Structure 1
């Protein structure tokens, strides 16, 4: 489902295979285990990327079908725990988005510090309004903290699909590249460059947490409660 490799001071978390990389409890657990490994390593940056044409197409709906009333909230909570782990990680994180990032895949991409996207294929898309799904507070807080008010509104209430070019224009991503290879290479270049600077890992993690106090508090409450809190 995913792998973790090291290239010098940079770790690469890769969603593997020609699949939609949908989030099941098993995939969320595997990602969290890799993030735990990263947190205890002496690596100084993490790049997340994907094989195939999907960064991630959201939740594993096949897994939720037998008991959607309980399984959808469960896997969403597990995905939000992945997001919280990324926000707590003691190194910069870069999402090399080499394909579509929709619904839960969008949340996963937005949880990274920096996003690099290809312009020839792929889009960022919430999907909530088109599938009649009310975002839980933690997921909504993540999007609100990483987007301008207008983009947040257009994502959630209009279901706008942002291509790489559109995403670059409104600040959803930090860099736009020609194709998958260039996208991954740019993410690695940025990660390696920043990893070489003299910064403290604990201080970096603290700075990130200080940027999103309400988001972190919301995610922590939902995680500790074992479910979602209602606004």
Structure 2
């Protein structure tokens, strides 16, 4: 479910669970392990990427719907654990987004230092509201820090997914390029960063990202329990079941 490629000091971690890299606890655990292991394995920077049409379709809802409550909590906790691993990574991480990136895919991308997205009719955003879920404050913080509080409110409350051109215009992604050049641009951006004095760059980065780390670490078991309670609300279950029915078509 994870492919690893080395480009000298830049390591590429590719989500590899076709067709849409839907996130399961197993995939997220593998991602967390890969991100945490890369610096010790010589990585001075990381590219996180996915498929050519879909970076990640978000959490695997049909899989989650088949879990009982005892397994559902750890299932959702795995998303936060992977997000924390990216946020806490001691080396820069670029998201190379070759296609759509809704919900959990957007969460992972927002934890990266920089986001490069393929130009075209690809959408990205936190659309949890559309399936009856509440994005926790820790996740909302990720959106607020890149697009500002008011714009984040509008996007989150409506569960909007925006196309790549709009995503760049509002700061949700940093750069657009042709799909075939997404990985190349990610490497070039990191190479420019790695050319800077390392100690100063990494220390400045650590200070600048402290709010991101704190927000994710603040999502505790009590808040996770509240999220799971909301999962079982009748209107949420109805919306999730409708989503699963659409996915089966």
- Normalised by the length of structure 1, the TM-score is 0.88
- Matching of residue 191 in structure 1 with residue 190 in structure 2: yes
CA–CA distance in structure 1, aligned partners of residues 108 and 182 of structure 2: 17
Q: 1:73 to 1:229 in 2, by over 3 A?
A: closer
Paired residues of 2:20 and 2:51 also in contact (CA < 8 A): no
Pick aligned residue for 2:216 from 214, 219, 226: 219
> 2:127 corresponds to which residue?
127
- How big is the alpha-carbon RMSD for the aligned residues of Structure 1 and Structure 2? 2.3
Question: What secondary structure is seen at the aligned counterpart in 2 of 1:191?
Answer: helix
Q: CA deviation at 1:108?
A: 0.6
Q: Distance in 1 between matches of 2:50 and 2:118?
A: 12
Instruction: Give the secondary-structure state (helix, strand or coil) at the position aligned to 1:124.
Output: strand
5+ long unaligned stretches in structure 2: 228-249
- The question of whether the paired residues in 1 share the 8 Å contact of 2:21 and 2:51 is answered with no
User: TM-score with structure 2 length normalisation?
Assistant: 0.82
What is the distance in 1 between the residues matched to 2:95 and 2:161?
18
SS at match of 1:222: coil
C-alpha distance in 1 between matches for 2:207 and 2:225: 22
Q: Which has the higher contact order (CA 8 A, sep 6+)?
A: 1
Aligned residue number for residue 158 of structure 2: 158
What residue is the counterpart of 2:3 in the other structure? Answer: 3
Deviation string 1:148-190 (CA, Å, 9 cap, x unpaired) is 12331122112222111001111111111122x1111111111
Q: How does 1:77-226 map to 2 (within 5 A)?
A: 77-179=77-179, 181-200=180-199, 204=202, 206-222=203-219, 225=221
In structure 2, distance between residues paired with 1:143 and 1:229: 22
Which SS does the other structure have where 1:112 is aligned?
coil
- Decide whether the 8 Å contact of 2:102 with 2:126 is kept in 1: yes
8 Å contact from structure 1 (residues 137, 230) kept in 2: no
1:227 and 1:160 map into 2 onto residues whose CA distance is 24
Does the CA contact (< 8 Å) of 2:138 and 2:218 recur in 1?
no
The secondary structure found in structure 2 opposite 1:120 is: coil
Deviation at 1:74, TM superposition (A): 2.6
Question: Is contact 1:137-1:228 (8 Å) kept?
Answer: no
Q: Does the 8 Å CA contact 2:73/2:225 hold for their aligned counterparts?
A: no
Shift of 1:51: 2.1
Mapped contact 2:129–2:135 kept (Cα < 8 A):
no
Instruction: Decide whether the 8 Å contact of 1:9 with 1:195 is kept in 2.
Output: no
Task: Verify the 8 A CA contact 2:117 2:177 in the aligned structure 1.
Answer: yes
Q: Judging changes above 3 Å, is the alpha-carbon distance between structure 1 residues 151 and 172 closer, same or farther for their aligned structure 2 residues? A: same
Residue 37 (structure 2) aligns with = 37
- Preserved contact between residue 123 and residue 164 of structure 1 (Cα < 8 Å): yes
How many equivalent residue pairs?
Answer: 227
| Alpha-carbon shift at residue 101 of structure 1 (Å) | 0.5
State the partner residue of 1:28.
Answer: 28
CA distance in 2 between partners of 1:134 and 1:68 (Å):
20
Q: Which runs of 5+ in 1 are unaligned?
A: none
**Structure with greater helix share of residues:** 2
